[in-house]
Amino acid sequence: MKRIIISFLLGFFIGFFLSYLPYLRKPSFDGYVKVYDYEIYEDSIILLTEEGEIRIYMHETQIFSIKHAKEKWIRPLSHDLIENILKDLNAEVIAVSIDDLKDGIYYAKLYLKVGYGIREYDCRPSDCIALALRYDAPIYVKESLLYSPIPQSIPA
């Protein structure tokens, strides 16, 4: 009976550890370049890297949230609310990456440290950038995107 219980507990803990293992790895940003600065315009943001730049068109509400990321308002903006929720849950933004361009739309990922693990979430670049600025988290751009043709429309 002892062997059965010990085997069960050992199997349970090994299974639990293996299922949690992907969250323990730090994300790799090989093939990415780090954004060192940005410029904001009425209809877009330009992310500047040592290798080049990338222009992302956004709606004015998204630009507003990025432009005012470090300001505190009487009432929280949407990204301020997300920041407050993450802080309350002891989670923090550790990095964001802009990974792909399909049909004129950029795709990004948000990396959160939750407990001892790191979680990865699909996210709009505008949301990623707004949260990264609030957390002073690094922004990475896939190097191949620096040489992609610039989309001329604002995605929904």
Helix, strand or coil, per DSSP, at residue 133: helix
**31 assigned to some structural domain:** yes
Model pLDDT for residues 56-109, shown as the tens digit of each residue: 999 888 888 888 888 877 888 888 888 889 999 999 999 999 999 998 899 999
pLDDT confidence tier of residue 153, bands split at 50, 70 and 90: low
Phi, psi of 147 (to 5 degrees): -110, 5
H helices present in 1-154, as ranges: 2-24, 60-67, 78-88, 125-135
**Residues 107-150 pLDDT 10s:** 999 999 998 889 999 999 999 999 999 999 999 999 999 876 66
The whole-number pLDDT of residue 22 equals 55
The domain tally of the chain equals 1
Per-residue confidence band for 13, with pLDDT thresholds at 50, 70 and 90: low
Task: Give the C-alpha separation, 97 to 78, whole Å.
Answer: 20
Residue span of the structural domain in which 86 resides: 27-147
The CB density around residue 10, as the number of other CB atoms within 10 Å, is 10
Q: Establish if 153 belongs to a structural domain.
A: no
pTM of the predicted protein model: 0.79
Q: Is the pLDDT of residue 155 over 70?
A: no
Q: How confident is the model at residue 5 (pLDDT cuts 50, 70, 90)?
A: confident
CATH assignment at residue 113: 3.10.690.10
In a domain, 155, yes or no: no
Q: Does 4 fall in a domain?
A: no
Sign of CA dihedral 64, 68, 72, 77: positive
| Distance separating alpha carbons of residues 67 and 154, to the nearest angstrom | 18
Does the structure show a pLDDT above 80 at 20? no
Show the tokens assigned to 78: 């949407």
Q: Residue 147's Cα: distance from chain center in Å?
A: 21
- Whether 19 is covered by a domain: the verdict is no
What pLDDT score does 2 carry?
Answer: 72
